[in-house]
Amino acid sequence: MLDEFVIRLADMGIHDPAQMASVLGLDLKLAESAVVEQLAADNLVRLPSRKTLVGLTAQGRVMAVELESTRPVQRPLPITFDRLAWAVSSYRPEFLVQKKEAEDAGLIILPAARSQRILPSDVTVASLNKLISGSDRREGKLDVLAVERVSPKKHRYLPVKLLIFADDVRAEVQLGVVVDGQLSPLHERALLSVGGPSALGINIGEPAERLSLPDDLEAVRVPLTTYPAAIPTKSDEVESAAVPLHSKFEVRDISVHEHPEFLREALTGSARRLLIIAPWVKNSVVDTTFIGNLERLLRRKVKIHIAYGIGDDDRDSHERALSRLRNLATRFKENFTFARLKNSHAKILISDRTWINTSFNWLSFRGDPSRTYRMEEGILIRSSSHVDEAYEKYLRMIEEQSISS
């Protein structure tokens, strides 16, 4: 930078290094050192009239013209600022969502690291130059020299994945944050600094109580820890006395991670009937795709029953999701029943000859407002007679417990 000023001053007619030092407010030795470097670079030459004075060479005059054309200018620079990491970020605007979109999707809004406004000192020159180095900088032709002011325009949110870990005794809950497919230690540390899991209201509850079955089904139930190896195939040679009912039906435990796929299969593949019971209804599940799949089933004359409800009101369900289901029920009165129950803890999915009894919230995924996370497990039963019996039982329950919604 000092070399640049020496060239500019020489072009302005200041030829004495001592005068250059005075104009720049520098020690004479620093100015003389810069002059020597420019003499060696053939940008300056000693003047014949007085050896202590210097002037521009032809090459130096070209450089002076180039420097003259490069002037600092003020210009707005749109950037994204991560309020959790409290730093400039490179998130692309098209990946950001509004707060309402995030809330409708059932997402947790992560807190900001600080409550005060973003200041120019928070947006460093180095971070901006690093941000634009691969795009607008264009081989060094754009450099940020200073940040004059910061004017926040709007709040947007980047969807990330929040990983929740707990040990066997659940004495400690740990978090991980996945941003753009990569674990981010920066965001993990930032979350811990603002209170960690407790600040988000996250707790790990005891595993859901293992659901029980009638004796004949319990006799052939395959535990989650042994599936799928324990389920015989048609080619397996097994004694009928050891596994008496597997040829007739399948009974096995299913993990929390299998539930969404079973729901997708039911919404797209049910041929005769579909019954879902869950306490809460959320926009994150009952979205456009969900409604579209239901309508396609209804147009194929599939009989559908959906029931929800727990407590005295619907404060923990989303009105938009409820309204969409009510509208669909109005349009397809002959084969779609949508009911509000008095107070049901049941979480049931029946699709054709498949019945899943579970602790998983089918229509919300995250139903508990306190955000208590627990291992949810269910039981899958595939059997015409047992599923028919369960289907009739839950239809009677819906009819007896329905209230006006």
What DSSP string runs through 100-145? HHHHHTT---PPPS-SSPP-GGGS-HHHHHHHHTTTTTTTTT----
Contact between 324 and 403 (Cβ < 8 Å): no
Instruction: Out of 3.30.870.10, 3.40.50.170, 3.40.30.10, 3.40.640.10, select the CATH number for domain 215-403.
Output: 3.30.870.10
* Residues forming CATH 3.30.870.10 domain(s) in the chain: 215-403
pLDDT surpassing 90 at residue 386: no
Write down the mean pLDDT value for the chain. Answer: 82
pLDDT surpassing 80 at residue 46: yes
Task: Classify burial at 156, counting beta carbons within 10 Å of its beta carbon; exposed 0-12, middle 13-18, buried 19 or more.
Answer: middle
- Mean pLDDT on 292-317: 92
pLDDT surpassing 80 at residue 171: no
Span 192-214, pLDDT tens digits: 888 888 777 776 666 556 666 66
Contact between 231 and 251 (Cβ < 8 Å): no
Enumerate the β-bridge partners of residue 338. Answer: 306
The angle at the Cα of 104, spanning 102 to 105, to the nearest 5 degrees, equals: 65
The pLDDT score that the predictor gives to residue 50 is 82
* Residues forming CATH 1.10.10.10 domain(s) in the chain: 2-69
The pLDDT score that the predictor gives to residue 369 is 45
pLDDT surpassing 50 at residue 229: no
Coil, strand or helix at 337: strand
The pLDDT score that the predictor gives to residue 57 is 93
- Determine if residue 233 is left, alpha or beta; phi over 0 gives left, psi from -120 to 50 gives alpha, anything else beta: beta
Among 280, 281, 288, 284, smallest CA distance to 101 is for 284
What DSSP string runs through 348-368? EEEETTEEEEESS-TTTS---
Give the pLDDT band of residue 299 (cuts 50, 70, 90). very high
Coil, strand or helix at 168: coil
Share of residues in the chain with pLDDT > 90 (%): 32
Lowest mean pLDDT among 53-57, 185-189, 198-202, 261-265: 198-202
Contacts of 48 (CB under 8 A, 6+ apart): none
Span 76-106, pLDDT tens digits: 888 889 999 999 998 888 889 998 888 777 7
pLDDT surpassing 90 at residue 255: no
- Determine if residue 227 is left, alpha or beta; phi over 0 gives left, psi from -120 to 50 gives alpha, anything else beta: beta
What DSSP string runs through 375-392? ---EEEEE-HHHHHHHHH
**Segment of 41-55, 130-144, 198-212, 230-244 carrying the highest mean pLDDT:** 41-55
Q: 2-69, which class in CATH?
A: mainly alpha
Share of residues in the chain with pLDDT > 70 (%): 81
